Amino acid sequence: MRICAGVFEPTFSNFWQDPEQDKGYAQVDINVSHPIKLTRLAIKKSLQRGKRASVCIIASIGGLGGSIAAPLYCATKHAIIGFVKSMTASESFTGVKVTTICPGLVHTPLFTNDKKEQYSFHENKALKPDDVARGMLDLIQKKQYGCGTVFEISMAGTRVIPEWNIAPPSAEGTGQNEAEMAAGLKALLGPIQEKLRGEMKKSKL
C-alpha cells in the first residue's frame, strides 16, 4: 500500500499565515494522523486475513532538515520519519513492512504558481513523479529494504538514511550567482515578513 496524500503549507493550514484560530492544524491531520491511522488499519486488516503486507508512506527531505518557510510541513514529515523508524522491529509480529521515502523537490501540482515563485521552483531541478513511484515500488517489493527503512531520493541520487548520525545530502550547487540567491531569499521570506509586519504593534506616532 502506498500512502501518498499530503499538503504543503496550504492557505487553509499554514504556520506563518495562521488561518486556523480555534483548532489544531489540518496539515498535521492530513500529513501525520491519517497516514499513521491508515498504517494501523493495514496491520489490523493483514492480521485478520493472515496475509503479509507492505506499506510505504511518502515523507520528504524536509523531514530530515528544516525550512523557515515551511516549518509545519517539515515538522509533519519529521513525525512520519520518527513513526516509521519506530516500526523497525514490528514486522515479526504484525506481518507488515512499513517504510518511508523522502523525496527532494518533485514536479507535481503541490507546487502551485505562488509556491513555485516563493521557493524558486524550476522543473529542470526537480524529480519526476515516476522517479518517486519507482522508489516506492522498490521499497514495497524488495527484501533489501527492511521494515523501518527511510529512503532518500533527490536529484543527487538515492540513499538509505541511517538511524543515527545522518550526513547531509550530497548536492550540486544551485548554480545561482549572488544576486539570484538574494532574490531567491527575498521571494522565500517575503510573504512571511509581510504577514508579521501586519501583526506588529502599531506605532504610536
Residue 7 sits in the site that holds ligand NAD (CB under 6 A): yes
- Closest approach of ligand NAD to the CB of residue 203, in Å: 40
41 binds ligand NAD (CB under 6 A): no
Interface with ligand NAD includes 106 (CB under 6 A)? yes
Look at the alpha carbons of 173, 176, 178, 183 in this order and tell me if their dihedral is positive or negative.
negative
For residue 63, the 8-state DSSP code is G
Would you count residue 6 as binding ligand NAD (CB under 6 A)? yes
Q: How many residues bind ligand NAD (CB under 6 A)?
A: 14
Q: Which residue, 5 or 160, has its beta carbon nearer to ligand NAD?
A: 5
Place of cell 489490523: 44
What pairing do the DSSP bridges indicate for beta strands 150-154 and 53-58? unpaired
Are the C-beta atoms of 152 and 64 separated by less than 8 Å? Answer: yes
CB of 80 to ligand NAD, least distance (A): 9
Report the alpha-carbon distance of residue 178 to residue 186 in Å, rounded: 12
**135 lies in the site for ligand NAD, by CB under 6 A:** no
Rounded to whole angstroms, the Cα distance separating 133 from 151 reads 13
Interface of this chain with ligand NAD, residues 17 to 36, rule: CB under 6 A: 30
What's the rounded Cα separation, in Å, for the pair 77 and 85? Answer: 12
Residue 137 as a binder of ligand NAD (CB under 6 A): the answer is no
Q: How far is the CB of 143 from ligand NAD (least distance, A)?
A: 25
Question: Contact 155/171 with Cβ under 8 angstroms?
Answer: yes
Query: Which chain residues interact with ligand NAD by CB under 6 A?
Result: 4-8, 30, 58, 60, 103, 105-106, 108-110
